[in-house]
Amino acid sequence: MSHLRFNAVEKAFSKAPLALETPQERPESFYAVNVFDREKMFQYLPAEVYKELVNVIDNGVPLDRGIADAVAKGMQKWASEKGVTHYTHWFQPLTGGTAEKHESFLEYNGKGGVLEEFSGKVLVQQEPDASSFPNGGIRNTFEARGYTAWDASSPVFIIDDTLCIPTIFISYTGESLDYKAPLLRSLRAVDKAAVDVCRYFSADVTKVSAYLGIEQEYFLVDADLCTARPDLLLTGRTLLGHEAAKNQQLEDHYFGSIPERVVNFMRDLEIRGLKLGIPLKTRHNEVAPGQFELAPIYEECNLAVDHNMILMSLMQKTAKDHGFRVLLHEKPFKGINGSGKHCNWSLGTDKGTLLFAPGKSDNDNLRFITFVVNTLMAVYHHNGLLKASIMSATNEHRLGANEAPPAIISSFLGTQLSAMLDALEQCGSEALEGGRKKGLKFDLPQVPEIMVDTTDRNRTSPFAFTGNRFEFRAVGSEANCATSMIVLNTAVAEQLVKFKADVDELITAGLSPNDAIFKVLREYIKECKPIRFEGNGYSDEWKAEAARRGLDCEASAPKLFDHYLSESSVRMFESMGVMNRIELQARNEVKWETYTKKIQIESRVLGDISLNHVIPVAKEYQKMLMDSVHRMQQIFDADEASELAADNLRLIREISAHCKAIVDNVHAMVQARKRANILESEREKAIAYHDEVESYFDVIRYHSDKLELIVDNRLWTLPKYRELLYI
Ligand code: ADP
Ligand code: MG
């Protein structure tokens, strides 16, 4: 019998590491060679055009169509010299991943031949054939088509023979159909609001940027083993499979050396990433066997998101070359840690100040506390929405399980910063009075020591302060983290606007700016106290405590999406100019629809492999057992035979029981799908898939995993956990 599993295992374990063509040069000489960055702009564009383009990039002024042709020409020259023949508008549709439609530079030359041309018009705007992208009804409502428009703040880059132009995707009536447009709007909102608040502390700040450093976790599985697992191939996770006897108990993978095949993959990926201007810095093993992490140096938020999107597809491509498959799913394996995408987020001024870093003077420290406290307020007031922003059918598996992070948003500050906020809160009006007399000399506890406090980080906290930034750890490994950055930036922007209004009101009433700031902060510290939690986020006590504090404890993704449409969320997005109600409604339709589709696919795959792989193999083994019982009866007398066959008879019955349970539950699950499919509302359908369909997964898996332990190893067709995880 040809055996897919054993063939795959044999291939997987005999694969030699791919020989690498390591570049002779040092990274600085090939960094960003495939990016049309400022250096190349300077080299390929006329001086005037270069200057104008830099102004567009740095200050967000609209691109003058007059220079677009010159920019396109320079770009094309550079790209042609690098062998490029095609270009594409590269965008991030709501379905996830990235989309591109390649066009060659070819045009008729009017003399019966062709020439290569790239005009400003096609650089700046295009109409992708995008009717197939879900849009939550926006285009039906407006009978409008969508177009893509160049985001000059993210440089164009080359992949293979194609010039990729980062674009936003937007309907003709102005509604965003992607992730990038609202992200850019949220960045503008937080920039403006933060600059206004910065002015209390230093008059010269003109721009505040959000920075993002993304730690990307992932699993590597051998490509041949993956091919033998329909669930991994089609859903990115194992729907069945008994835990290996040894998984992450010993934590030996985290500290172990990286296997050579994997190191070669990582090196190759790093070289390709560096050439695309992605500043990859960190690589290491993660806790689970087969799990790894990489992280670039942090960048401006929009660029960091683009780079992460490029990186995710680059990982898939590079993995293929090395005989691997990358699993970006948040929970590919039961019983071992899933993967996240830790988003290290901070704000910084054009003068180089990180706003979440304490400084040397009291003025610096008051500014530091101002930004920390306002962020806590934003996270507190929109904790449900922030959780909705990281929710998906795939990330749902990871949250709330006993691994980072819990399904409740709270913030960890560390002992010193916590103590400092407590002290500030308790300061009576005497402190305020004293503060006024001494000018800036508030009784602020020593802030700079916080820097020492980065060691006792609480790994169970979903939103932790880590020295000079916040780390949002609940984001899923597969996600486009623009989704959560849009909410975070917008919520902080809204909060900073409110802060300024509150402070200005007190100033108008006669308080000095510092007294006013101090007074408002003390009120805020009291108000947002429920979001602060320093304890163990996995504990049951915390769940009860969080509910008492009024924090959102919902764990069902389709219900959490409702947060996007709550009045406070709509008000926030609309007042900050990030999204309007129609966009929010349309996006939610897409979220619910995508949720349903994912669970529907998983449910079908689970049904298929249960009935086509597991049951036939179990029955075959059962038949072997029955044959053996028969033979015993032929050889031995009745008493002896029944004694000798007892074990086999027990197994035969067990197999029947498990098979029956699987078949019954698969059928019931199919009926549940049918009931869900006829529901009109996308929301109700998604909820039905969550409550009625997915609820069968565990019980089907339970019986299948039991069969895996019973059935002769030689018959089992699906690669087992121990084979998948130990490459
Ligand atoms: P960890 O100890 O959490 O692994 P790392 O030092 O590996 O931390 O950093 C994680 C990520 O945080 C990196 O991408 C790093 O560049 C980024 N980072 C560091 N400082 C900041 C900051 N101020 N703002 C945003 N990201 C930052
Ligand atoms: Mg980290």
Ligand closest to CA 472: 2
User: Is the predicted pLDDT of residue 430 greater than 50, yes or no?
Assistant: no
Q: Which atom of ligand 1 is nearest to the CA of 297?
A: 16
User: Is the predicted pLDDT of residue 254 greater than 80, yes or no?
Assistant: no
Q: Summarize the confidence of residues 302-310 as an average pLDDT.
A: 98
Compute, in angstroms, the gap from residue 684 CA to the centroid of ligand 2: 37
User: Positive or negative CA dihedral for 518, 519, 524, 526?
Assistant: positive
Percent of the chain with pLDDT over 70: 91
pLDDT category of residue 659 using cuts at 50, 70 and 90:
very high
> CA 405, CA 398: separation in Å to the nearest integer?
8
CB 351 within 8 Å of CB 357: no
Compute, in angstroms, the gap from residue 16 CA to the centroid of ligand 1: 34
Q: Summarize the confidence of residues 222-246 as an average pLDDT.
A: 94
Amino acid symbol at 137:
G
pLDDT category of residue 517 using cuts at 50, 70 and 90:
very high
Compute, in angstroms, the gap from residue 379 CA to the centroid of ligand 1: 20
Top mutation candidate among 344, 456, 475 for ligand 1, by most atoms within 8 Å of CB:
344
Q: How is 194-243 classified by DSSP, letter by letter?
A: HHHHHTTT-TT---EEEEEEEEEEEEEEEHHHHHT-HHHHHHSS-SS-PP
CB atoms inside a 10 Å sphere around CB 16: 9
> CA 399, CA 390: separation in Å to the nearest integer?
10
Q: What is the pLDDT of residue 251?
A: 65
Q: For residue range 323-380, what is the model confidence (pLDDT) as tens digits? A: 999 999 999 999 888 999 999 999 999 999 999 998 888 888 899 999 999 999 999 9
Compute, in angstroms, the gap from residue 26 CA to the centroid of ligand 1: 24
> CA 322, CA 262: separation in Å to the nearest integer?
9
Residue nearest to ligand 1 atom 17, measured at CA: 213
607 vs 441, higher pLDDT: 607
Ligand closest to CA 475: 2
If phi > 0 it is left, if psi is from -120 to 50 it is alpha, else beta; for residue 188 that is: alpha
Q: What is the pLDDT of residue 130?
A: 56
Compute, in angstroms, the gap from residue 305 CA to the centroid of ligand 1: 15
Token readout for 586 is 């349309």
Q: For residue range 557-569, what is the model confidence (pLDDT) as tens digits? A: 999 999 999 999 9
Q: What is the pLDDT of residue 91?
A: 93
Q: How is 590-620 classified by DSSP, letter by letter?
A: HHHHHHHHHHHHHHHHHHHHIIIIIHHHHHH
User: Is the predicted pLDDT of residue 453 greater than 70, yes or no?
Assistant: no
Q: Which atom of ligand 1 is nearest to the CA of 354?
A: 23
CATH 3.30.590.10 segments of the chain: 187-242+250-579
pLDDT category of residue 255 using cuts at 50, 70 and 90:
low
Q: Summarize the confidence of residues 91-101 as an average pLDDT.
A: 88
Q: Which atom of ligand 1 is nearest to the CA of 357?
A: 23
Compute, in angstroms, the gap from residue 654 CA to the centroid of ligand 2: 46
Q: Summarize the confidence of residues 207-233 as an average pLDDT.
A: 96
Contacts of 87 (CB under 8 A, 6+ apart): 79, 102, 103, 105, 118, 122, 162, 163, 164, 165
Please tell me the least confidently modeled range out of 215-224, 452-461, 531-540. Answer: 452-461
Token readout for 178 is 């992607």
State the architecture of 187-242+250-579 in CATH terms.
2-Layer Sandwich (3.30)
User: Nearest CA to 93 among 186, 157, 167?
Assistant: 167
Backbone angles phi, psi at 465, to 5 degrees: -80, 130
Compute, in angstroms, the gap from residue 228 CA to the centroid of ligand 1: 38
> CA 581, CA 570: separation in Å to the nearest integer?
6
Top mutation candidate among 282, 298, 303 for ligand 1, by most atoms within 8 Å of CB:
298
pLDDT category of residue 461 using cuts at 50, 70 and 90:
confident
Compute, in angstroms, the gap from residue 401 CA to the centroid of ligand 1: 25
For residue 346 and ligand 1, the question of a CB distance below 6 A is answered with: yes
CB 554 within 8 Å of CB 384: yes
> CA 626, CA 620: separation in Å to the nearest integer?
10
Burial 77-87 (b: 16+ CB within 10 A, else e): ebbeeeebebb
Q: Summarize the confidence of residues 33-51 as an average pLDDT.
A: 97
Please tell me the least confidently modeled range out of 118-132, 407-421, 427-441, 529-543. Answer: 427-441
User: Nearest CA to 407 among 458, 459, 462?
Assistant: 462
Q: Rank 63-72, 88-97, 202-211, 407-416 by mean pLDDT and report only the highest.
A: 202-211
Residue nearest to ligand 1 atom 4, measured at CA: 215
Q: For residue range 597-655, what is the model confidence (pLDDT) as tens digits? A: 999 999 999 999 999 999 999 999 999 999 999 999 999 999 999 899 999 999 999 99
Q: What is the pLDDT of residue 131?
A: 58
Q: What is the pLDDT of residue 315?
A: 97
Token readout for 28 is 């600085």
CB 200 within 8 Å of CB 338: no
For residue 295 and ligand 1, the question of a CB distance below 6 A is answered with: yes
State the architecture of 595-724 in CATH terms.
Up-down Bundle (1.20)
CB 263 within 8 Å of CB 316: no
Q: Which atom of ligand 1 is nearest to the CA of 466?
A: 3
Strand partners, 107: 115
Q: What is the pLDDT of residue 436?
A: 41
Q: What is the pLDDT of residue 434?
A: 42
Q: Which atom of ligand 1 is nearest to the CA of 296?
A: 14
Residue nearest to ligand 1 atom 24, measured at CA: 346
For residue 468 and ligand 1, the question of a CB distance below 6 A is answered with: yes
User: Nearest CA to 399 among 510, 280, 553?
Assistant: 553
Q: Which atom of ligand 1 is nearest to the CA of 293?
A: 4
CB 177 within 8 Å of CB 167: no
Please tell me the least confidently modeled range out of 170-184, 593-607, 657-671. Answer: 170-184
CB 678 within 8 Å of CB 585: no
Q: For residue range 101-135, what is the model confidence (pLDDT) as tens digits? A: 888 999 898 898 999 889 999 999 888 765 556 66
Q: What is the pLDDT of residue 451?
A: 46
Q: Summarize the confidence of residues 444-455 as an average pLDDT.
A: 45
For residue 211 and ligand 1, the question of a CB distance below 6 A is answered with: yes
For residue 308 and ligand 1, the question of a CB distance below 6 A is answered with: no
Mean pLDDT, the chain, whole residue set: 90
Ligand closest to CA 282: 1
Q: For residue range 669-686, what is the model confidence (pLDDT) as tens digits? A: 999 999 999 999 999 999
Distance of CA 61 to CAs 38, 58, 129, 313, 493, Å? 17, 8, 28, 31, 21
> CA 443, CA 436: separation in Å to the nearest integer?
11
CATH 3.10.20.70 segments of the chain: 31-178
> CA 681, CA 660: separation in Å to the nearest integer?
34
Please tell me the least confidently modeled range out of 225-239, 243-257, 294-308, 665-679. Answer: 243-257
Q: C-alpha angle with apex 329: 326 to 333, nearest 5 degrees?
A: 95
For residue 300 and ligand 1, the question of a CB distance below 6 A is answered with: no
Q: What is the pLDDT of residue 604?
A: 98
For residue 239 and ligand 1, the question of a CB distance below 6 A is answered with: no
Residues in the chain: 727
Q: What is the pLDDT of residue 204?
A: 95
Q: What is the pLDDT of residue 446?
A: 41
For residue 353 and ligand 1, the question of a CB distance below 6 A is answered with: no
What is the gyration radius of the CA atoms in the chain, in angstroms? 29
Q: For residue range 487-507, what is the model confidence (pLDDT) as tens digits? A: 999 999 999 999 999 999 999
In CATH, what number does 31-178 get? 3.10.20.70
Q: What is the pLDDT of residue 692?
A: 98
Q: What is the pLDDT of residue 141?
A: 46
For residue 213 and ligand 1, the question of a CB distance below 6 A is answered with: yes
64 vs 576, higher pLDDT: 576
CATH 1.20.120.1560 segments of the chain: 595-724
Q: Supply the pTM of this predicted model.
A: 0.94
Compute, in angstroms, the gap from residue 503 CA to the centroid of ligand 1: 32
